[in-house]
Amino acid sequence: MHGPPVKSRASVTAGTKRSRYGAFARKTVEVLGSVALTILGLLAVTFVIGRVVPIDPVLAVVGDNAPMAVYHKAREEMGLDRPLAVQFGRFVAKAVSGDFGVSVLTARPVIDDIKRVFPATIELATLATLIGIALGVPLGVLAAVRHHSWVDHVARIIGLVGHSVPVFWLGLMGLLIFYAKLGWVGGTGRQSVAFMDSVSPVTGMILIDCLLARDFESLLDAVRHIVLPATVLGYFSLAYICRMTRSFMIEQLGKEYVTAARIKGLSEWRVVMGHAFRNIAVPLVTVIALSYGYLLEGSVLTETVFAWPGLGSYLTDSLLRSDMNGVLGATILIGCIFIGLNLLSDLLYRVLDPRTR
């Protein structure tokens, strides 16, 4: 009698690879489908908000004193006389192509306005997040290792103040002390009047554009203007990241595997950084991504205090001027930012923790 045929090692390996590729393809389709549904839901919510708010987009265009004939003509041209289903379909089609209409505030396409103001927010939020990571993570780890010591108390006070003090008050105090009194930093805006338009915009981020143009005098002026708002925002990012890092580390340092590692004679550095910190890397990525997302959505008060021409200022001005196209375009961008950051967090999970693959 002959037994069942024995598969060769090559065929088994090929079958394993096909299985992995199939699983990867299914996972990719699931992720893309989830993203598409999330974006569709975001567009639906944004569309409903645009129809529910007590602002007439037609009046924002033609003015309050326009004749009724002009009003109805503009309403028809904007497609607001059609059924809601048809309006939503047109809204989705235009949003997918990047067409959010023309801004009443600037008389330019909203997408062009967003391209103009968003790099300033990216620049400010990125610097603030880097400050928060560079100071918040080490302080949180040290506070957990030195639990109930003076270092821990300092970290807790920093976190408490960061969540209690209004950001606009901190910004005003910073301007009063470091700009008006000491003269260590620049004033409001991204550059002094003497340096405005001295560098051709390439990326829209003034620091990078100055470096590309090798204009180090303008670069120094831009650094003097961005350091204070970035530090103010970075402090609030630092407080949040420090508090969460401390909480994660205290939980991990109380686990049995940490006790076992210490019993084996491992150094405290290897126990803390090689074991405990590695296990908080995954949730810490989420904390940092959310912190960055909240800053990218536009820190309205900070940008207002420092006259920073970013997304938050643009969104505020659009609301005050009843510019619904600008409001909806900025809102959709903010939603897409959080969707993208969640996807990035999922990818980093798989890199940092092989168990999630």
pLDDT score at 7: 52
Contact predicate 317/95, CB 8 Å: no
pLDDT score at 202: 85
Which pTM value belongs to this model? 0.80
pLDDT score at 107: 80
Sign for the pseudo-dihedral over CA of 140, 145, 148, 151: negative
Average pLDDT, the chain: 82
Residues in the chain: 357
pLDDT score at 199: 83
Which pairs with CB-CB distance under 8 Å and at least 24 residues apart come from 273-282? 273/141, 276/249, 276/252, 277/141, 277/249, 277/252, 279/252, 280/245, 280/248, 280/249, 280/252, 281/352, 281/353, 282/348, 282/349, 282/352, 282/353, 282/356
Closest CA to 275 of 298, 303, 255: 255
Residues 6+ apart with CB under 8 A from 231: 128, 131, 174
pLDDT score at 10: 56
The fold of 110-356 is: MetI-like fold (1.10.3720)
pLDDT score at 18: 63
Residues in the chain, pLDDT under 70: 1-24, 54, 60-61, 63, 297-298, 352-357
Q: Where are the domains of the chain?
A: 1-54, 58-97, 110-356
The residue assigned the tokens 């910190």 is: 277
Q: How far apart are CA 221 and CA 217, in angstroms?
A: 6
